[in-house]
Amino acid sequence: MRILHLIPGSGGTFYCQNCLRDHILIRALRARGHDVVLVPLYLPMYGGAVAAEANAPLFFGGISIYVREKLPFLRRMPGWLDRLLNLPALLRQAALREGSTNASGLGSMTLSMLEGQHGNQGQEFERFLDWLCVQPRPDVIHISNALLLGFVPAIREVLDTPFICTLQDEEPWVNAMTPPYDRLCWEAMMRHGKQVARFIATSRWYAQRMAERLNLAPDKIAVLYPGIDLPPEPPAFQNAAPPIMGYLSRLNPAQGFEDIVDAFLELKREPALASLRLRATGGATPADTPFMTEMETRLGNAGFLEDTEIDWNFQSAPGEAFFRGLTVMCTPSREGEAFGMHIIEAMARGIPVVQPRAGAYPELIGDGESGILYDPETPHGLTDTLRAMLTRPEEARRLGGQGYLRARELFSAERMAVEMIALYESVCDVSPEFP
Q: Kindly report the CATH number assigned to the domain that includes residue 352.
A: 3.40.50.2000
Output the pLDDT for position 314: 79
Residue 316 maps to a domain:
yes
Same domain, 289 and 365: yes
Express each pLDDT in 318-358 by its tens digit: 888 999 999 999 999 989 999 999 999 999 999 999 999 99
When divided into structural domains, the chain yields a total of 2
Q: How many Å apart are CA 154 and CA 164, to the nearest integer?
A: 15
Output the pLDDT for position 237: 66
CB burial of residue 384 (10 Å; 0-12, 13-18, 19+):
middle
Output the pLDDT for position 90: 73
Question: Which one is predicted more confidently, 122 or 367?
Answer: 122
> Sign of the C-alpha dihedral, residues 158, 164, 169, 170?
positive
Express each pLDDT in 192-215 by its tens digit: 999 999 999 999 999 999 999 999
Output the pLDDT for position 309: 97
Same domain, 169 and 313: no
Percent of the chain with pLDDT over 90: 70
Output the pLDDT for position 244: 96
Same domain, 310 and 183: no
Output the pLDDT for position 97: 63
Residues 159-173 have a mean pLDDT of 94
Confidence bin at 435 (pLDDT 50/70/90): very low
Same domain, 18 and 137: yes
Residue 47 maps to a domain:
yes
Express each pLDDT in 171-193 by its tens digit: 999 998 999 999 999 999 999 99
Output the pLDDT for position 11: 64
Same domain, 280 and 370: yes
Same domain, 335 and 279: yes
Same domain, 19 and 155: yes
Alpha carbon dihedral 303, 307, 311, 312, in 10-degree steps, equals -10
Confidence bin at 101 (pLDDT 50/70/90): very low
Confidence bin at 55 (pLDDT 50/70/90): confident
In the predicted structure, residue 114 carries a pLDDT above the cut 80: yes
Same domain, 53 and 158: yes
Residues 406-419 have a mean pLDDT of 96
Express each pLDDT in 238-256 by its tens digit: 666 799 999 999 999 999 9
In the predicted structure, residue 48 carries a pLDDT above the cut 80: no
Same domain, 157 and 280: no
Same domain, 359 and 268: yes
User: Which of 120-129, 261-270, 293-302 has the lowest average pLDDT?
Assistant: 120-129
Same domain, 185 and 166: yes
In the predicted structure, residue 236 carries a pLDDT above the cut 80: no
User: Which of 18-22, 221-225, 384-388 has the lowest average pLDDT?
Assistant: 18-22
Average per-residue pLDDT for the chain: 90
Q: Which domain holds residue 89?
A: 2-227+413-428
